[in-house]
Structures are given as C-alpha cells and as structure tokens.
Structure 1
Amino acid sequence: MVKRQIPKVRDLAPLMRFKKPTLNPKTRRLQSALTVEDLRRIAKRRTPKAAFDYTEGAAEAELSLRRARQAFRDIEFHPAILRDVSSVDTGWDVLGRRVELPFGIAPTGFTRMMQTEGEIAGASAAAAAGIPFALSTMGTSAIEDVAAAGGPDGRNWFQLYMWKDRERSMALVDRAAKAGFDTLLVTVDVPVAGARLRDKRNGFSIPPALTLGTVVNALPRPAWWINFLTTEPLAFASLSKWSGTVGELLDTMFDPTVTYDDLAWIKAQWPGKVVVKGVQTLDDARRLADLGVDAITLSNHGGRQLDRAPIPFHLLPHVAREVGKDLEVHLDTGIMTGADIVASVALGARFTMIGRAYLYGLMAGGRAGVDRTILILKDEIARTMKLLGVSTLEELNPSHVTQLVRLAPRALPAGTAEAVAAARPKRPASEQKETARPEVTPSVG
C-alpha cells in the first residue's frame, strides 16, 4: 500500500516556480521562438502575403529550394565520445579576418519591404555578432548608410550584379570601396531572371502596387502597415525609379553576355577580396581557382533562378577536395539550422551564408529579430559541436558527416555517355571564341 498525505504548501513551494511575465509583446514573441522555423511562423503572421512570398518563394515549382533543404535533413552525424568540450570556439579566419561564427548574412533585395528596418538592422546585428553582412546591388538602404550602421567593428561585403551599363555598375563598386567594404561578392547566376511565379501571381512590383487585395491582406497586420506608410518610401538604393515586376527589372538591367573576361576585369578593379557567388559545377570551380579569386560560393541562388539546379550541399565535398587548397569554399541555399552550418564546415566549407533565415528574424521583430536568429544559430552550432565531440571548427572533418542518398543520378549503360558526346556536332573554332569586353575605366578605391 502507498501511503498518501494531503500536500502542504511549504512542501509544494520548492517544486513550483512561476515564470515572470514578459510585458513587451515583441520580446515575448521572440523569446518564444526556439528555432528559425519558429521565427518563420511568426514572420508569416505579421507580414503581408506579397512581401512574405517574395522571401519564401523560389523559381517555378520551387524544387531547387526544397531539395536543398532536404539535403541537410538527409545527413547522419558521427559523434566522438569522451572528449573535453567544456568550451568551444565557434570562430576562425575567413578571407584573412576573424569571424566569431562560420556564417554571415547573405545579400537580399527589397529588404525594407520585409520590415522597415531592412539592411540597417542586418548590418548592425551582424557587426554586434562579429560576422559579415553582405549588401545587395538591389538593396533598399544606401551603401554609406549600411557602412555607418555597422560602425567601426562592422565587416561589410558588397554584392555586385553586372549591369548592361558597365559604368553604372562600377560606380556602385567605387562607392562600396570608398565606404570601407572589404569584399566584393560577384553574383554570376543571373544572366536572366528566374520565373518567380509567386511574385507574378501577387503582382509584386516596384514600387508595390496597392490593390484591394493588398490592402485587405495588410489590414490584419497593422504594425507592418503603419511602418510602410510612415517611413521613407521604398526604393532600391541603386536605382532612381522603376515601374514593373522584380523579374522584369532583372531582365532589363542585368547582362546575359558576361563572361570570364568580364570577371577578370572586375577583379582587377577591386582593391579587396573577391568572392564569386553562384558556382554550381566542379569545372567552373576549377576555372575560378585558376583565375585567382579568393573564394567561391556554391549556391543556386536560394532556388530562385534555375529550378532543378544542383544541390550546393551535395556539390560541396567534391569541390572542397578539388580546389579547397587554392581558395576558400563558401556555401549557401537551404540553411535553416546551426546543425546545417556545422555539417557544411565538416564537409569543407570555410563559410556559409543565411538569407531567408535572416529575413524571417527581420520580419518577426526587426533588429531584435535578427539578433534572435543569430543567437539561435549560434547556440545550435555550439551544441552540435559539443555533441560531436569537437571544441574547434578546425576539428570538424568529413568523418563527422554522412550524406544519405535520396536523389541519385540514374546510371547510363556503359559507353552511352561517350557515344552521346561523340555524336554531338562540333562548333567551328571561330564560334567558340569569347568576345572580349570593351574597356571601361572608372577608378575604384
């Protein structure tokens, strides 16, 4: 028989502790977010559909993005035991300077549409965390304002799309160099815009088109609505004006004739480090190593360009083995957790970048939301490292991770690939020559 008694208050008191209420609603909702996915759900509730879909969406059927995220889920970690992991160092050198975490904030366009603090929130949060912030050519805050937001400790990178107007492109590069940006992030996977169908269906344009549906969708989100109407009108910092969809802008502005010669020319103009973003094949990685760039970013543009594009995380170990001694290998697309970042470092990435994860935090709570994103990822990185039995990033290696097979190439019958290649008609040598880009000589720095 179990002896029972009536509980006394003095016995129960040590077993119960009432949580102190948090009165600030923003603080309360951000504290409730334990993962980036939690921030995403908060962001979706607080942001009108057109703006949220611009962040969330990808090209066509959105297979590239789903596959990239699934690739991170399809891993198996291999922890070592009985290691001293009482403290871990989550930082190391990237492009010659220390970062406190092996990730930074990726360049994102139209950012102040997501939340009015926009790039200023991202740059200031990144500086406080000791990580780089990348400003997009399509950013909605001026280059000089982003530099000021980061302060003396900020480390800013400028992301460049090459426009058909070369002088205008290089004028932006010149401004970035003068503002103290230390790295040029040249994006090479946008010869034309991908088919971002959500934006077309939502009528997402520059400036935003306020239809009855837009207004009705925004009404239950008063904070976003008030911020949108009472702050500086939205515009791209690098454009005077545009009327049309984002995709139409990309097709009008960006140059499908850019070649390796153009990239070499850009590299010669820039006084700092050069990173090429949008690499999706081993052959291109090798060629960029020969060109002498400082780093490459394996990326399919967050799935926003070519649907069914290669999965960067799957490409990573092959590229790292082949060119990792010649340049730094960076990675983006699909990262949602600190474990994703740890797995990337283990397979050869020196650095990773977050885009949507940062924007979810921004939409959930402005600068405080970005801080929350960074803190969540930082805690996940440190915890995953400890559970793997490593105390520094240098200790991570491919033996810690297995990429499980879900999508695998279908093997062709023996000799088929060679036969197909041999049967293809060869172009005359005169047609294979690349056309050199005319010289343009604005000074930089």
Structure 2
Amino acid sequence: MTERRLPRWSELRPLVRTRGLELDATKRRLDRALTIADLRMIAKRRTPRAPFDYTDGAAESEVTLRRARSLYNRLQFNPSILRDVSQVDPSTTILGRPSAYPFAFAPTGFTRMMQHEGEPAVARVAERTGIPYALSTMGTTSIEDVAAAAPNADRWFQLYVWTDRAAGKDLVDRSIAAGYTTLMLTVDVPVAGARLRDVRNGMTIPPSLTPKTILDMGMHPAWWMNLLTTEPLTFASLSDWPGTVAELINHMFDPTVTFDDLAWMRDAWPGSLVVKGIQNVDDARKVVDLGADGIVLSNHGGRQLDRAPIPLAMVPEVVDAVGDRAEVYVDTGVMTGADIVAACALGARAVLIGRAYLYGLMAGGERGVQRAVEILAGELTRTLQLLGVRDLGELNRSHVTLPAVTF
C-alpha cells in the first residue's frame, strides 16, 4: 500500500508559478506565436477573408503551393555530431553586401491592404535586422516613402514590365534616385494566374463596401477602422480599380516581353540586377548570359501556373549550371528557418520569404513582422547547431537528402 498524506504549503510554494498580466494586447498575442503557422492562425482571425486569402492563396487548385511545402516537409537532414556549435554565425553576403541571415523580404503587392502599417513597417524591420527588403511595383507605399522609412536598409525595387513602358522607366529612374541597390525584374507574369479565391471573394483595390464586406466589418472592426482612418490605398499607377486583381494585372502588364527587354534593362540599371521567376535551367543560363547578377527560382508562390516546377527541387541543377557566375535564390513554400537551411545546403545563396512576414504583419503590424524574423532566425540557428554546422560556409549538399518529387 502506498502511504499518502496532504502536501504542506512549504512543499507546494516552490511549484507555484504566476505570470504577471500582460496589458499590451499585441505583445500578448505575439508572445503566444511560436511558429510562422501560429502567426498565420492569428492573422486569419484578425483579417477579413478577402485580403487574407489574397496572401494565403495560390492559383487554380493550389497544387503548386502544396507540393512546394510538401517537399520541404519530406526532405531529410543529415547531422554531424561532436562539433563545437556553442557559437553559430548565420550571416552571409547577398550581392556583395552583408546580410545578417540568408533570407530577404520578398516583394509583395498591396501590402497596406493586409495591414495598415504596410511596406514602411516591413522595411524598418529589414533595416533593424540587417537583411534586404524588396519593394513591389504593386506596393502601396511610394519608392521615396519607403526609402525615408528605412534609409539604411538594403533596398531592392521589384519591377514588372508594363504596357506603358514610359511609366516603368520612370519607376526605374525614381529607384535609382532614391538609392535602391538592386532591381528585381519579375518575368513570370505575362498574364495573371487564375487565383480563384480572389474571384470568389470579389476582391477589389481598395476593398469595396458591399453587403458582404459590411457584414465582415462586424467581425474585423479594428482592420476596417485602420483602413478607413489612414491614407487611402494607392500605388504607382492608380488609386483604385473596379475589377479583380487579375483584371488589373492583365490591364497593366505587357505579355510581349522578351529577352531583348532584359538586355535593355541591364543597360538602364547601374546596380545589381536580379531576375525573378526562373523555372528551368536553360532560362537561367540565358538571363545570366544577358547580365543578371542573381536569379530567383520561383513559381510566384504558386500564384501563376498551377502544377509548375518546385523551386527547391531545381536548386542543385541550376547552381551547377550558373552558380559560378550569378547568385541563386529560391522562394515558395518557405515556412520555417529549417526550410531556409535546407535551401542553402543545396546551394542557394539566400531565400526570399513573402507569406511568412505577411502573416506577421497581419498578426501584429511591425511588431508582428519582427516576431516572424525572430521565429525564423531562432529556427535557422538551432537547425545549424543540430546539424553540427558553425556557419553557412560549412553547409553542403551532404547535409540534406532531397526526396524524389512524386505526385
């Protein structure tokens, strides 16, 4: 028989742990987020369906995005043991400039629609962290205002080739004048992908006041209050658009763009030139031959052609083909710091993240973006330590087994 007795208070007192009440609701919310997936769930609760789905969704049946995330989830790490990993250096250089981590903030359109603090908040976090930030052509803050918000950030400008070439040239000239170091030319949007969530949600820029959205106000009053009491959503070419985002893209973007336009862009831009949207080795070789300093293996986050190649799977072959002449970056499906480590082990110089920081922005504004960086940086550093790797230079393909792409 087990002898039992009532516990004494002196024995219980050391076990009692009380936490002070955190009065800052945003901090309380963000402190509970331990992963990017946690930030996503917070963002989903706090954001109306149309802007959340614009961020979260992909094209058609969203097969491409699911496959990309599946590949990251199925790869195998191969750690080495008995290494001194008490100090780990996750820094690198990107286009010859120092970066605290091997990731950058990808360009995202309509960022102030996700959360009213928008692009300036993201740029300030990039500046504090010491990583690059790319402003989208479809950004909702001007080139000059982003530069003023983060004057010491490594700022990139992402350009789509517009039907109105003079307007595009004006954006390039403004970026040069504002001190942007890199032009990122996105080449995988000759026409808009079929983003069915946006069509079903009837999303316009800015969001329209319909019976459906008015009902949504009651569920997300803070989001709507912030939208209606801050500067109207505008971007480079117009202040509003009565149709869907896809209709806007098809109206503005030029589907006749060829490699000749890339050659012209190389001559017009004095800084680093990165081409985003590469999906095969031959195209990688061609754009590097035409002067690209970097390429982004990307299927646009699964938002263009559904069932497109998975960028992570292309990294080794493309690095072998052009890695001695240009830096290779990768995006799509990245949700953890371990994903970033895997891409770098396969040969990528850096990873571009988009949805991950937008979930943070929607969850808590600038502080939410900072929380996303903290999560990714912590996971990245811990993964390096558990792999037995002290810095990114020690990473190599032996650290990752990439499974066959199966359907």
TM range (shorter): over 0.9
Deviation at 1:164, TM superposition (A): 1.1
**Residues 240 and 7 of structure 1, relative CA distance in 2, 3 Å threshold:** closer
C-alpha contact 2:262 2:290 (8 A) present in aligned 1: no
Deviation at 1:49, TM superposition (A): 0.5
DSSP 3-state at the match of 2:185: strand
Deviates more, 1:174-183 or 1:18-27: 18-27
- What's the % identity of the aligned pairs? 60
DSSP 3-state at the match of 2:377: helix
DSSP 3-state at the match of 2:98: strand
DSSP 3-state at the match of 1:17: coil
Deviation at 1:251, TM superposition (A): 0.6
C-alpha contact 1:83 1:390 (8 A) present in aligned 2: yes
State how many pairs are aligned.
Answer: 407
DSSP 3-state at the match of 1:367: helix
1:117 paired residue number:
117
1:7 paired residue number:
7
- Supply the AA of the counterpart residue of 2:48: P
C-alpha contact 1:161 1:254 (8 A) present in aligned 2: yes
Task: Name the CA distance, whole Å, in 1 between partners of 2:263 and 2:36.
Answer: 38
Deviates more, 1:197-206 or 1:32-41: 197-206
2:257 paired residue number:
258
Deviations 1:106-155 (A, max 9, x none): 1011111110001011001111110111100000001111111113x211
DSSP 3-state at the match of 1:274: strand
Structure of higher CA gyration radius: 1
- Supply the AA of the counterpart residue of 2:103: F
1:186 paired residue number:
185
Task: Name the CA distance, whole Å, in 1 between partners of 2:240 and 2:43.
Answer: 28
Deviation at 1:239, TM superposition (A): 2.9
Task: Name the CA distance, whole Å, in 1 between partners of 2:52 and 2:268.
Answer: 37
C-alpha contact 2:273 2:292 (8 A) present in aligned 1: yes
Query: Residues 89-108 of structure 1: matches in 2 within 5 Å?
Result: 89-108=89-108
Deviation at 1:205, TM superposition (A): 1.3
Deviation at 1:329, TM superposition (A): 0.3
Task: Name the CA distance, whole Å, in 1 between partners of 2:136 and 2:117.
Answer: 15
- Supply the AA of the counterpart residue of 1:380: E
Aligned pair 1:318/2:310, yes or no?
Answer: no
2:132 paired residue number:
132
Query: Residues 336-355 of structure 1: matches in 2 within 5 Å?
Result: 336-355=335-354
C-alpha contact 2:65 2:333 (8 A) present in aligned 1: yes
Deviation at 1:207, TM superposition (A): 2.9
Deviation at 1:225, TM superposition (A): 1.3
2:388 paired residue number:
389
Deviations 1:39-58 (A, max 9, x none): 00000000001111111111
- Supply the AA of the counterpart residue of 1:259: T
Task: Name the CA distance, whole Å, in 1 between partners of 2:240 and 2:220.
Answer: 27
Aligned pair 1:247/2:271, yes or no?
Answer: no
DSSP 3-state at the match of 1:333: coil
1:364 paired residue number:
363
C-alpha contact 1:137 1:238 (8 A) present in aligned 2: no
Deviations 1:402-430 (A, max 9, x none): 1123517xxxxxxxxxxxxxxxxxxxxxx
C-alpha contact 1:105 1:355 (8 A) present in aligned 2: yes
Task: Name the CA distance, whole Å, in 1 between partners of 2:24 and 2:391.
Answer: 37
Task: Name the CA distance, whole Å, in 2 between partners of 1:400 and 1:143.
Answer: 40
Gaps of 5+ in 1: 409-445
Aligned pair 1:37/2:37, yes or no?
Answer: yes
Gaps of 5+ in 2: none
Task: Name the CA distance, whole Å, in 2 between partners of 1:224 and 1:341.
Answer: 31
**Residues 226 and 240 of structure 1, relative CA distance in 2, 3 Å threshold:** closer
2:329 paired residue number:
330
User: So what's the TM-score if we normalise by structure 1?
Assistant: 0.90
Query: Residues 45-444 of structure 1: matches in 2 within 5 Å?
Result: 45-151=45-151, 153-407=152-406
Greater than 6 Å deviation, 4+ residue runs: none
Deviates more, 1:5-14 or 1:198-207: 5-14
Q: CA RMSD in A?
A: 1.2
Task: Name the CA distance, whole Å, in 2 between partners of 1:150 and 1:200.
Answer: 35
- Supply the AA of the counterpart residue of 1:145: D
Deviations 1:291-310 (A, max 9, x none): 22100000000011101100
C-alpha contact 1:74 1:406 (8 A) present in aligned 2: no
C-alpha contact 2:113 2:206 (8 A) present in aligned 1: no
User: So what's the TM-score if we normalise by structure 2?
Assistant: 0.98
